[in-house]
Amino acid sequence: MVVIFTLKGPQDNANRPKQPRTSFRKLLISRGSSTLPSLLISSLTNSLSRIPVETCMGQLRFRVPNAQSYDPQIWRTAFVSGIEGIPWASRNWFENDCLVIDRSVDESGKLSIVWPTDEYGPIMLSTASLRCQNAPYWLHVELARGTIHRIRGRGGDWLLLGLKLPEAYNSLMDRAVSAFVQAVLTTDDPGRCVAYAQSAIDFAIGASKPLSRAFISQSLQARHQAEKQLSTLLGVKLIPNENWQNDIEAIVPAINTIHISMELGQIESESKSATFAIIDKQLDWARKNSMRIFAGPLINLQAHAIPKWLYLFDDFDSLYDAVCQHAVQVVERYRGQVHLWSAAAGLNAPNSLGISDEQVLHLAVGVIQAVRRCDPKTPVVLTIDSPWAEYLGQKADGISPLHFADALIRADLGLSGLGLELNLNYWPGGSMPRDLVDVSDLIDHWNILGLPLLAQISGPCNLQADPNAIAKSNIVSNWTYPFSANWEQSQMSDSGSIELTDSISAGSNATEQEKAFSQVRRDRMPVNGLEVVQMLLAKSNVHGIIWNQYSDRDEHTYPNAGLIAPSGKHRSLLDGLARLRQLHIH
């Protein structure tokens, strides 16, 4: 079989940092064994030792006026990360009007927290790096400082690379800086300080929109100069559902790839033969429509994907054997019919099976080896869940996703690429909503590993209740938060200039502040799925983009993420993907 989709193997990683590598090939176990040599696992585990060690106490305190008007879940999302971007686990609570972030490590770091914005509603924002001190910081001011620094810095970097910055970006960023300066100068008046700081955040996030669009447009133009139509994979994930054919023809114009799920929990059931029959039909359909075929993952340890019977195993060896036997059975059955395998997903995040980090590494190695032995010619990727590692802020027992991937790459197991699962705007069990600059930074960050990336994404198309979703995740955009109606009205003026309301410009006491922040809104959505796809398409190291949810008609994973609505109506995202493919992709 000719492999249409080619990913670089470990031997091609010339761009990765030169660090000592251990040759593990001679140590690899023979097929069927359930234990790995201790040297392999200890070497993999040791490569994770760069995660900061928690040694001593350290607190960061932030003043938050009117904190009771925010959704309580917002405070639970807060975490502090170090220079590598890896969150420390923390305990978060309030003392009077101060948010306390308590860690066991006394180092400077940046706070990340979901925060309301005028453009997108609540999205993840960060401060600049802050040192531990007894005096509290103003949360609004530090988030404004960090947001301006991040977006302005990225604009500067792209300018040096030749990007033509749009005037709208420069204008909005100037307003953001002016508002931030006023916030710093008015910290003795909480009402004015908070209003100015929130405006600085809103203008900075507003500036990120034309900046990101300029980057996407100019990057795609540059890519098309080298390649008339891009060879990027653009696909949709299918699960083995008996009603999968109901709307399948509608997605053909939008994709060139089909992702067929072959998870252990979906196949190893009472109707195993029936499930294989559905997958066979899906493969036949994909071949008839000249689709490239991406299959897997063979094991998925995300909470919603673990089959209940897997909890019955009372020892790890039995679980390991069951997973590897499933991998062997599926790969041998479909060898020669698949262009790309996904060995596993969700291994890096905390799991409910109670298996240790060492056992997770053991399982990852075993599944990858099983795929490589049964089908040595087809490329294999490993899918990383929650690549921003937000889960480490709540639980210390997770594995840093970047270190986890790096450890497996250095083991020379034959990985050809990495999948990044970005289920945006879902928490817990997904990733926080982000602006497009943040998405771009994530891809650049993962590029240091030197392997091609395949992005598997989803996000809600609306905020409605979805009883057929099986993932126990909330849509973050549904969280409530306060805002100033007067301040917002001033930003919507025809002139577009900052016009302070009388109550703010004249100074405000606590009562006036409470009035200004007395309303609650939940009507803003973050960047839509099509904009995220465009940003990913502009990145040359992203070789494939998969939308994670085909339809919401039957039981599905995430709320309102399907290209087909429960009514059978085609969502606008599907039409957008079709137009995008027509413009840019083979």
**In the chain, domain spans:** 58-216, 227-474+526-584
Task: Give the distance, in angstroms, between the CA of residue 125 and the centroid of all CA atoms in the same chain.
Answer: 14
**472 φ, ψ to 5°?**
-85, 65
pLDDT band at 277 (very low <50, low <70, confident <90, very high): very high
Mean pLDDT of all residues in 169-177: 98
Query: In the predicted model, is pLDDT for residue 22 greater than 60?
Result: no
Higher pLDDT, 290 or 520: 290
Q: What is the pLDDT of residue 483?
A: 63
Mean pLDDT of all residues in 374-399: 91
Q: What is the pLDDT of residue 90?
A: 92
pLDDT band at 1 (very low <50, low <70, confident <90, very high): very low
Beta strands in 247-379 (DSSP E): 257-260, 292-295, 299-300, 340-345
Q: What is the pLDDT of residue 9?
A: 39
Query: In the predicted model, is pLDDT for residue 585 greater than 90?
Result: yes
Share of the chain above pLDDT 70, in %: 82
Q: Alpha carbon of 576 to those of 163, 228, 398, 495: distances in Å?
A: 25, 20, 36, 32
What's the CA gap between 294 and 546, in Å, rounded?
A: 10
Residues whose CB is less than 8 angstroms from the CB of residue 270 and which lie 6 or more positions away in sequence, other chains included: none
Q: What is the pLDDT of residue 273?
A: 85
Beta strands in 338-442 (DSSP E): 340-345, 380-385, 417-423, 426-427
Query: In the predicted model, is pLDDT for residue 314 greater than 90?
Result: no
Q: What is the pLDDT of residue 353?
A: 86
The residues pairing with 114 across neighbouring beta strands, listed in sequence order, are 124
Q: What is the pLDDT of residue 165?
A: 97
**303 φ, ψ to 5°?**
-55, -40
DSSP 52: P
Highest-confidence segment of 8-12, 26-30, 239-243: 239-243
Domain 227-474+526-584 has CATH 3.90.45.10: no
**420 φ, ψ to 5°?**
-115, 115
pLDDT single digits (tens) 126-138: 999 999 998 999 9
Buried b (16+ CB within 10 A) or exposed e, 287-321: eeeebbbbbbbbbbbbbebbbeebeeeeebeebbb
What's the CA gap between 348 and 547, in Å, rounded?
A: 21
pLDDT single digits (tens) 193-248: 999 999 999 999 999 999 999 999 999 999 999 999 999 999 999 999 889 999 99
The residues pairing with 59 across neighbouring beta strands, listed in sequence order, are 102
pLDDT single digits (tens) 463-489: 888 999 998 889 999 998 886 333 333
pLDDT band at 351 (very low <50, low <70, confident <90, very high): confident
Q: What is the pLDDT of residue 270?
A: 58
What's the CA gap between 185 and 182, in Å, rounded?
A: 5
Q: What is the pLDDT of residue 57?
A: 59
Q: Which two tokens stand for residue 136?
A: 């509290």
Exposed, middle or buried by CB within 10 Å (0-12, 13-18, 19+), for 508?
buried
Beta strands in 360-466 (DSSP E): 380-385, 417-423, 426-427, 453-458
Amino acid at 340: L
Q: What is the pLDDT of residue 308?
A: 81
